[in-house]
């Protein structure tokens, strides 16, 4: 090999990473260092990461509601197998509120992505004053063709506080964290929509206040300080449904039959170090991984015993060095758990740079 060829190979090796960064990708992995975790930093235009799902194409799809700096429009992003982040599409705003707040996301059996648009979300003391809009939350479908979004459809509307979302069998399930905004204690629940009834040309109009036929279960949250109920949502391989009761730091488990719960949910895990239960994911063995927004932690709930193990936790931070920064969602890919740091100006936390996803080993 000639010296010039070796030199050019070295140059190519040096130039390649720069080319990747100047392309459509916007962020990449920073390895873990002492006292921290591996992480991905995001630019200011992607300042509020939340819902995630691992799709069949190996990408993690990430909802970016941009609550913290709504000068930037809400987006759907993806994190590829090399941990490069790129944009999939801008999401359509609600015609009456002029905003879209994507939280929960999952891939349906049709390969498309289903997203909960939470119009009730209110973030006090951040940026411009804004109030949530009751009973205007929606279910969206991002139609994917060869990894690209060909269109975004509105499939259902009239939900109060749409949050966690999961596809299972022939249906899409959506948590409503406050079925009735005025009820005390808070009542929340889960809606079930069959894929066959979700049509872009005739969206399902949900009857608000807890009376809709799609509402398959409800429960109460007694925590008056954090009156947010049904949140993270998922299914194990056996078909059991798991729902987080955020304010009461509970994980509820539902036995299912024909796509609907058999009776009320049972408390499968409660507190044991959990201060709240936000987004969840279930692994192939049935263990449940939970983001704890209030506790700024990630927990694992054992599939057999319901015992809670805390995998990562730290006090409020700015998120530097991969530390958790008010996390709200988890996503499992291989041996790793991706954690979205929503970094809301709540519970003693300040919204701050950097904007990050933390990556911790799955155990």
Helix ranges, the chain (H): 3-22
Closest residue to Ca ion, based on beta-carbon distance = 319
Instruction: State the minimum distance, in angstroms, from the CB of residue 304 to Ca ion.
Output: 36
Q: Is 345 in the site for Ca ion (CB under 5 A)?
A: no
H-run or E-run covering 7: helix 3-22
Binding segment for Ca ion (CB under 5 A), chosen from 89-97, 166-174, 193-201, 341-349, is: 341-349
Yes or no: say if 162 and 175 are a contact pair by the CB < 8 Å rule: yes
Q: Which is nearer to Ca ion, 281 or 326 (CB)?
A: 326
CA distance 313 to 295: 7
Residues counted in the chain:
363
SS3 category, 250: strand
Binding segment for Ca ion (CB under 5 A), chosen from 90-98, 258-266, 269-277, 324-332, is: 324-332
Q: 176 Cβ partners below 8 Å, 6+ apart?
A: 137, 159, 160, 161, 162, 163, 188, 189, 190, 191, 215, 230
Which of 50, 180, 292, 325 contacts Ca ion by CB under 5 A?
A: 325
Q: 127 Cβ partners below 8 Å, 6+ apart?
A: 68, 69, 70, 71
Binding segment for Ca ion (CB under 5 A), chosen from 151-159, 191-199, 239-247, 323-331, is: 323-331
Q: Is 352 in the site for Ca ion (CB under 5 A)?
A: yes
For residue 62, the Cα-to-chain-centroid distance in whole angstroms is: 7
Residues 292-321 that bind Ca ion (CB under 5 A): 318-319
Q: Which is nearer to Ca ion, 176 or 343 (CB)?
A: 343
Q: What is the DSSP letter of 321?
A: G
Binding segment for Ca ion (CB under 5 A), chosen from 184-192, 280-288, 330-338, 347-355, is: 347-355
Q: Which is nearer to Ca ion, 299 or 326 (CB)?
A: 326
Q: Which is nearer to Ca ion, 223 or 341 (CB)?
A: 341
SS3 category, 5: helix
How many residues touch Ca ion under the rule CB under 5 A: the total is 6
Which of 343, 344, 357, 358 contacts Ca ion by CB under 5 A?
A: 343
Angle formed at CA 104 by CA 137 and CA 176, multiple of 5 degrees: 45
Q: Which is nearer to Ca ion, 97 or 318 (CB)?
A: 318
Q: Which is nearer to Ca ion, 229 or 319 (CB)?
A: 319
Q: Which is nearer to Ca ion, 176 or 325 (CB)?
A: 325
Instruction: State the minimum distance, in angstroms, from the CB of residue 198 to Ca ion.
Output: 36
Q: Which is nearer to Ca ion, 114 or 338 (CB)?
A: 338
Q: Is 102 in the site for Ca ion (CB under 5 A)?
A: no
Q: Which of 104, 112, 116 is nearest to 52 (CA)?
A: 104
Q: Which of 74, 96, 95, 76 is nearest to 87 (CA)?
A: 76
Yes or no: say if 233 and 139 are a contact pair by the CB < 8 Å rule: no
Instruction: State the minimum distance, in angstroms, from the CB of residue 75 to Ca ion.
Output: 18
Q: Catalog residues that contact Ca ion under the rule CB under 5 A.
A: 318-319, 325, 343, 349, 352
């Amino acid at each position: 090999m000639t010296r010039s060829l070796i030199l050019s190979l070295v140059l190519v090796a040096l130039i390649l990473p720069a080319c990747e960064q100047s392309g459509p990708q916007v962020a990449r992995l920073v390895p873990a260092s002492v006292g921290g975790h591996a992480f991905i930093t995001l630019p200011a235009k992607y300042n509020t990461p939340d819902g995630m799902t691992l799709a069949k194409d190996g990408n993690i799809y990430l909802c970016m509601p941009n609550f913290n700096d709504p000068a930037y429009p809400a987006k759907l992003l993806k994190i590829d197998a090399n941990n490069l982040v790129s944009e999939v599409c801008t999401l359509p705003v609600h015609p009456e509120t002029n905003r879209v707040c994507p939280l929960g996301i999952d891939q349906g059996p049709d390969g498309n992505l289903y997203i909960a648009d939470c119009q009730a979300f209110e973030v006090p003391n951040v940026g411009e004053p804004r109030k949530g809009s009751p009973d205007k939350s929606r279910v969206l479908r991002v139609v994917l063709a060869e990894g690209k979004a060909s269109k975004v459809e509105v499939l259902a509307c009239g939900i109060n506080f749409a949050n966690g979302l999961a596809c299972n069998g022939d249906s899409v399930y959506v948590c409503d964290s406050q079925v009735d905004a005025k009820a005390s204690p808070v009542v929340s629940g889960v809606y079930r929509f069959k894929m066959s009834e979700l049509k872009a040309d005739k969206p399902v109009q949900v009857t608000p206040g807890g009376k809709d036929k799609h509402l398959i279960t409800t429960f109460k949250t007694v925590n008056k300080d954090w009156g947010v109920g049904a949140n993270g949502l998922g299914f194990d391989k056996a078909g059991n449904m798991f729902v987080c009761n955020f304010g009461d730091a509970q994980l509820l488990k539902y036995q299912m039959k024909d796509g609907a719960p058999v009776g009320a949910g049972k408390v499968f895990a409660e507190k044991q170090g959990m201060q709240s239960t936000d987004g969840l994911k279930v692994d192939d063995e049935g263990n449940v991984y939970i983001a704890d927004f209030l506790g700024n932690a990630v927990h694992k709930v054992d599939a057999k015993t319901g015992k809670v193990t805390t995998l990562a936790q730290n006090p409020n931070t700015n998120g530097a060095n991969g530390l958790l920064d008010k996390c709200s969602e988890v996503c499992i890919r291989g041996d790793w758990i991706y954690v979205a740091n929503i970094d809301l100006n709540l519970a003693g936390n300040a919204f701050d740079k950097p904007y990050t996803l933390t990556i911790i080993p799955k155990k």
